[in-house]
């Protein structure tokens, strides 16, 4: 969400130099600053890329280890994430953004516990969102879909809080938070694993996993970024694993969903996607380049 105009890149301050004489000054031109932007982007994205590589190579071990490290509690990981996002967007937006993530993840936690599945508290990972660990899979695809949709449902309701605050204060910070919240929950409804929409498709038609994966490939091609590549990697692996196992007796039983449940899940999925699209349209802020 950066546009190259921010200066919050975290590079060390230059060593002060003696003031030049009036003949040494050069006029300031409104140039693009392309070289400076690229250098700063490299410094900023380098550590993120390193983290992503570590997660790809050691992801399973890290996920198993995180719950055992006491310092990385929910509140601690939230503070770390707030600090990371504050470097880009400022601390006020960072706090609101992490709280919106918390509300979304708590939707999964509440539904997992309603399904009788022991779930951990959310663990936040800067620039990657948050994760909730469960000790066992849901009993069937319908339960998996309910768990998946519970996050966007509660997350969408959470977006109404900054929207209401915008109505009371007319502060566009809250409008921007509402827009980002609507966007994140709608993005999570893409019908591809491991996103929430992919879990809903497990109860409807697993064929949609390939449709969603194709859409995600297209979006990644147009707007390439490390997060999308990571989703494609893990999503592709999970989709292929589950697709190969679809004819196993256990998999057939898992994906056997009643017509009533299919209709309910499809109605919630489509209705929620439509409402989130309307929410994004209502909270979109059109800004010209150079606006602060």
Taking the C-alpha atoms of residue 127 and residue 13, their distance in angstroms, rounded to an integer, is 25
The distance of Cα 244 from the centroid of its chain, to the nearest Å, equals 28
Q: Say if residue 88 is exposed, middle or buried (CB neighbours under 10 Å; 0-12, 13-18, 19+).
A: middle
Name the residue ranges covered by the structural domains of the chain. Answer: 31-68, 70-283
Q: CB-based contacts of 226: which residues, under 8 Å, 6+ apart?
A: 45, 48, 49, 52
How many Å apart are CA 226 and CA 103, to the nearest integer? Answer: 25
Which tokens sit at 99?
Answer: 């709280």
**pLDDT, tens digit only, all 292 positions of the chain:** 444 444 433 444 455 555 544 444 344 333 444 445 455 445 544 554 554 454 455 555 545 554 454 445 678 888 988 999 999 889 999 999 999 999 999 999 999 999 998 888 888 888 888 888 887 888 889 999 999 999 999 999 999 999 999 999 999 999 999 999 999 999 999 888 888 998 998 888 878 888 888 888 887 888 777 777 878 888 888 888 888 877 788 888 888 889 999 999 999 999 999 999 999 999 987 654 344 4
**What size, in residues, is the chain?**
292
Handedness of CA 247, 250, 253, 255 (dihedral sign): negative
């Amino acid at each position: 969400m950066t546009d190259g105009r921010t200066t919050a890149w975290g590079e060390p301050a230059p060593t002060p130099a003696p003031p030049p004489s009036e003949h040494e000054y050069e006029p300031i031109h409104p140039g693009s600053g392309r070289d400076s932007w690229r250098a700063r982007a490299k410094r900023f994205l380098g550590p993120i890329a390193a983290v992503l590589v570590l997660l790809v190579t050691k992801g399973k071990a890290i996920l198993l280890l995180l719950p055992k490290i006491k310092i990385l509690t929910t509140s601690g990981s939230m503070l770390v994430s707030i600090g990371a996002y504050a470097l880009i967007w400022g601390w006020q937006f960072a706090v609101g953004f992490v709280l919106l993530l918390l509300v979304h993840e708590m939707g999964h936690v509440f539904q997992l516990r309603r399904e009788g599945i022991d779930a951990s508290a959310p663990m936040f990972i800067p620039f990657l969102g948050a994760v909730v660990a469960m000790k066992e899979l849901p009993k069937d695809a319908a339960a998996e879909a309910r768990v998946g949709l519970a996050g966007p449902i509660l997350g969408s309701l959470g977006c109404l809080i900054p929207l209401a605050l915008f109505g009371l204060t007319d502060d566009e910070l809250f409008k921007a938070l509402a827009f980002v919240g609507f966007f994140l929950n709608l993005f999570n409804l893409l019908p591809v694993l491991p996103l929430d929409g992919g879990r809903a498709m497990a109860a409807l038609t697993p064929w949609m996993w390939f449709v969603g994966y194709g859409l995600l490939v297209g979006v990644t091609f147009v707007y390439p970024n490390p997060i999308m590549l990571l989703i494609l990697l893990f999503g592709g692996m999970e989709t292929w694993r589950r697709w190969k196992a679809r004819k196993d007796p256990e998999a057939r039983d898992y994906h056997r969903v009643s017509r009533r449940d299919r209709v309910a899940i499809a109605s919630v999925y489509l209705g929620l996607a439509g409402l989130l699209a309307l929410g994004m349209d209502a909270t979109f802020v059109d800004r010209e380049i150079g606006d602060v």
